[in-house]
Each structure stands twice: as structure tokens, then as C-alpha cells.
Amino acid sequence: GAVVSQHPSWVICKSGTSVKIECRSLDFQATTMFWYRQFPKQSLMLMATSNEGSKATYEQGVEKDKFLINHASLTLSTLTVTSAHPEDSSFYICSASAGGANEKLFFGSGTQLSVL
């Protein structure tokens, strides 16, 4: 299957700092990328959908000024958690699709964020 690379896999930061997570599609052009948050033993929670070259669409309840998403190219999307607080600690996962009705969805390996 296609490869989606997500970095870093683990990050620890101090409260108040910002953290950037990168998601890259390595062998296909990702027209659409999705960002999820996952708490232990719970399902994926969609945070936002980003299409290359346009602003991300955020799900209800997700603060767009706190979770900045950039999808500047067909192979790269970034999620920046601004002024992180301990309650932002979570597992963040990106996924990417080439778009089109029958295109599959591939996931990155996830990023565990711990805010002290």
C-alpha cells in the first residue's frame, strides 16, 4: 500500500510552547489529508480535513486558532498545536487520500504529544 510518513512519533513539550507535526505522502499525491485525535482505547476523532491549497475545514468543537493546519503541497500537511496545554496531550494521526471516488485512505504512524 501507499506510504504516509508522520513525524515526530513522540514529542514532549512544556506548557505554552507550540508543536508542529508533519505528514507526508511519500509515493502519491495527497489531494486531501485528514487529522485525527485519539484518546486511549477510544476511536479516531476527526479534527479537520485539508485540501491542498485551500483552508482546512474544522470539525465542530475544534479550535482552528489552536490547531493550525497547513496543506501547502500535494505531499505535505502540517498540524501545529499552538500554546500547548496538558489537556492537548493526546495521540494525533494524519491520513491521506489521492482524492477521487475510489481512492483509498492511508494513515501515518501517529504522534504521541505529551505536554508538561
Partner 1 sequence: QKEVEQDPGPLSVPEGAIVSLNCTYSNSAFQYFMWYRQYSRKGPELLMYTYSSGNKEDGRFTAQVDKSSKYISLFIRDSQPSDSATYLCAMKTGNQFYFGTGTSLTVIP
Residues in contact with partner 1 by CB under 8 A are 1, 4, 6, 32, 34, 41-44, 91, 93, 95, 97, 99-110, 112
List C-alpha distances in Å: 13 to 37, 85, 95, 105, 113: 17, 9, 24, 30, 8
Smallest distance, partner 1 to C-beta of residue 30, A:
12
Beta-carbon contacts of 1 under 8 Å, excluding residues fewer than 6 positions away, are 104, 106
- Of 43 and 54, the one with the shorter C-beta distance to partner 1 is 43
- Of 82 and 112, the one with the shorter C-beta distance to partner 1 is 112
- Of 64 and 104, the one with the shorter C-beta distance to partner 1 is 104
All 3 cell numbers of residue 26?
A: 511519500
- Of 52 and 82, the one with the shorter C-beta distance to partner 1 is 52
Smallest distance, partner 1 to C-beta of residue 17, A:
22
The alpha carbon of residue 85 and the mean position of all alpha carbons in its chain are separated, in whole angstroms, by 17
Smallest distance, partner 1 to C-beta of residue 109, A:
5
Residue from 63, 59, 66 nearest 18 by CA: 66
Smallest distance, partner 1 to C-beta of residue 70, A:
19
Sign of CA dihedral 43, 83, 113, 20: positive
